[in-house]
Chain A
Amino acid sequence: MSQTVATSRPTPTRDQGERSDAATPRRRRPRIALGLTLGALTAAFVVPLLLMLSTSFKSPQEANSLTFRLFPENPTLSAYSEILNNPEIPILRWLGNSLLVAVLHCVLVVVLAALAAYALAKMDFRFKKAIFAAIVATMFAPGVIFLIPHFLIVNQLGWLNTYASLVVPSAAGAFGVFFLRQFFLGVHPSIEEAARMDGCNRWATFRRIAVPLAMPAIATLAVLAFLSSWNDFLWPVFVLFSSEMQTLPAGLAQLQGENAARFDLMMAGAVIASLPVLLVYVFAQRYIIDGVAAGGVKG
């Protein structure tokens, strides 16, 4: 199948190419240059994160001192205990809100897109061409024109300051349907024909044959949907108002606004906000990265 998610496995031919290269005497210097470049780059990416971590373990005095130390002189959990015990800063609630919203959004996107994409790829019905043309046409509409109308609709529905305002409107995008339809088109008709011969109806064929086959594409879409919801900043800042409804981005902005001079507190907040995604990322980074790559190359 040509549709499998790209992997980082090098091809055998490349392997040989590298080896013939390696035989030349010029080999050593490029290797050292490569090592130095990688070292410098990795430092550039990792050091800011280390500074975030180390500052979160500093006392307020040390975090705000004019002599900077990479590691805290007297490591303390004071920033963490302050942030976790302050009812004005319900950061765990914000974290939970963000995770809940991102997961619900992701599930909604995947379910709706998979159903619609399957019908558009594999079934015959009236208006099919018109519906697909409309979906594709809106893919070129820049997101900014939806901002004010979405606010009006969410307001009309009484959804301001609710999870629904974050989960639903952005789930109607055309990309998921377009992306999964491409995949379903690639599923050979004979596989489904066989399933139908075995007594599967349309729904069972979809559930037991098409969806399992499309799993790589569905996973890609899920990753992209999760990340876009997790990253959303402008919309939650403007449509959520009560403190306990905030998502992490909106809550952290509020934290920054109210504690401008407390870098220990802000960095502790940033660390708490980073931990869950970083943990998931460490275990699933391969799938997350491959998913994004597949979305980009095939999209």
Chain B
Amino acid sequence: MAQIPIAMVRSSGPTRGSDSRGWRVTPYLFVAPFLALFVLFVVVPIGAAAWASLHAWSLGLPNQPFVGLENYADLFGGTSVLSVEFWKGMKATGLFTLLSVPLLVIVPLALALLLNQKFPGRTFFRAAYFAPYVLGVAVIGLLWHFLLDRQLGPVNQILRALGLGGDIAWTTSLPAGWVALVGATIWWTCGFNAVIYLAALQNVPEELYEAVKVDGGGAWRRFTTVTLPSIARVLQFVVAITIIASANMYGQSALITQQQPGTSTRTAIGFIAQTGIQGFNIGASSAMSIILALSLMVVSGLVLLAFRKVGDSDS
């Protein structure tokens, strides 16, 4: 092995300083494969999205003339079909996010607190609640489209048998459509968030709970003074990833409600993909994705700030 003496020299002290300034090829060989893809599929796209949003670029146009902020002005102008449909999609995305995020943060937390108790078969229940998530959105979409069918779906049939009406058009009317989308999403993903909470809960030192108990604090005080502060970082993480996931919701609305009634449950990302990929209107769809991305960053920033505030008041 020819490398042995070199390696020995490298690892010994004195040459180290000069070594790091020199051009050694090994580290670059390690980084290069990832970096190549990173530049092509992460760095270039960020630039490309910004560039495309400033140009008129669509099917039938021979080239892509620079139009400045015209694509944005068009969208904010609110008169073109594209603009109306886009804001309808943004509204749908916002509504779904607003409805689903609080439930997807709180329900899994309750589930995790429950699973954090000691009882036999705990692992089994944890596995059962997580199972829907591994099935993927396509199976979940097909399943709930069936379960919620107006005529034949078991949900309405059971409601009918119980004498509770049972003629709700879950997938084709509003606001029932939103109930269907939010409900199916909670059923599908709440195990995912619960598992993350549960791992965090298991790292909370038991002594802290004991201390509150000694002070005479009840379950609620234990929750607010020990549990919540101890998992604040993970809570913030869950809120952030849940907002991002909800704002990217597409599969459920494509499969469960099939974007009905009309296109009322079509989310912004669905409309962006349709405009850009199917309609090849690259300029407009790029401007839309940047508007959606910036709104998301603003919301994430606000979440971060809110948690800072909470953290401050604690200390």
Contact = CB atoms under 8 A, between A and B. Distances in A.
B234 interface: yes
Contact of A48 (B129, B187, B196, B254): B187
A277 B135 contact: yes
Contact of A147 (B27, B138, B272): B272
Contact of B238 (A37, A126, A148, A296): A296
Contacts of A113: 34
Contact of A17 (B26, B209, B277): B209
Contacts of A143: 244, 248
B284 to A, nearest CB: 10
A278 B131 contact: yes
What are the 6 tightest A-B residue pairs by CB atom distance, in nearest-first order?
A296-B196, A149-B45, A293-B199, A249-B138, A119-B30, A116-B34
Contacts of B224: none
A135 B38 contact: yes
Nearest to B25: A125
Interface in B133-192: 133-139, 141-147, 149, 151-152, 154, 157-158, 161, 187, 191-192
Nearest to B133: A227
A277 B122 CA distance: 22
Interface string A155-169: 000000000000011
Given A273-B135, A293-B199, 7 more contacts: A8-B122, A41-B114, A41-B129, A144-B292, A148-B282, A196-B7, A296-B199
Contact of B254 (A151, A237, A293): A237
Contacts of A135: 38
Interface string B188-213: 00011001101110110011011000
A125 B297 contact: no
Contacts of A193: 11
Contacts of A111: 33
A141 B187 contact: no
Chain B interface helix/strand/loop/mixed: helix
Which of A11, A131, A151 has most B Cβ within 10 Å? A151
Given A125-B20, A173-B42, A238 B273 contact: yes
B31 A45 contact: no
Contact of B237 (A197, A252, A289, A299): A299
A263 to B, nearest CB: 5
A101 interface: no
Contacts of B237: 296, 299
A270 B111 contact: no
Interface of B: 1, 3-4, 7-8, 11, 19-21, 23-24, 26-28, 30-31, 33-35, 37-38, 40-46, 48-49, 52, 111, 114, 117-119, 122-123, 125-139, 141-147, 149, 151-152, 154, 157-158, 161, 187, 191-192, 195-196, 198-200, 202-203, 206-207, 209-210, 234, 237-238, 241, 244, 247-248, 250-251, 254-255, 269-270, 272-273, 276-278, 282, 285-286, 289-290, 292-293, 296-297, 300
Given A145-B45, A153-B45, A289 B27 contact: no
A224 to B, nearest CB: 11
The A interface is mostly helix, strand or loop, or mixed, namely helix
Nearest to B11: A196
Contacts of B41: 146, 150, 153, 168-172
Interface of A: 6, 8, 10-11, 13-15, 17-18, 34, 37-38, 41-42, 44-46, 48-49, 51-52, 55, 63-68, 111-113, 115-116, 118-120, 123-126, 128, 131, 134-135, 138, 140-153, 168-174, 177, 193, 196-197, 199-203, 206, 227, 230-231, 233-234, 237-239, 248-250, 252-253, 255-256, 263, 266-267, 269-270, 273-274, 277-278, 281, 285-286, 288-290, 292-294, 296-297, 299
24 contacts: A6-B199, A34-B117, A41-B111, A48-B187, A147-B289, A148-B48, A148-B286, A148-B289, A149-B44, A149-B46, A152-B48, A153-B44, A153-B48, A172-B34, A201-B1, A230-B134, A249-B137, A255-B142, A256-B142, A266-B145, A278-B134, A281-B134, A292-B192, A296-B241
Contacts of B131: 45, 49, 278, 281
B45 A289 contact: no
A238 B277 contact: yes
A79 to B, nearest CB: 12
B118 A14 contact: yes
Contacts of B234: 296-297
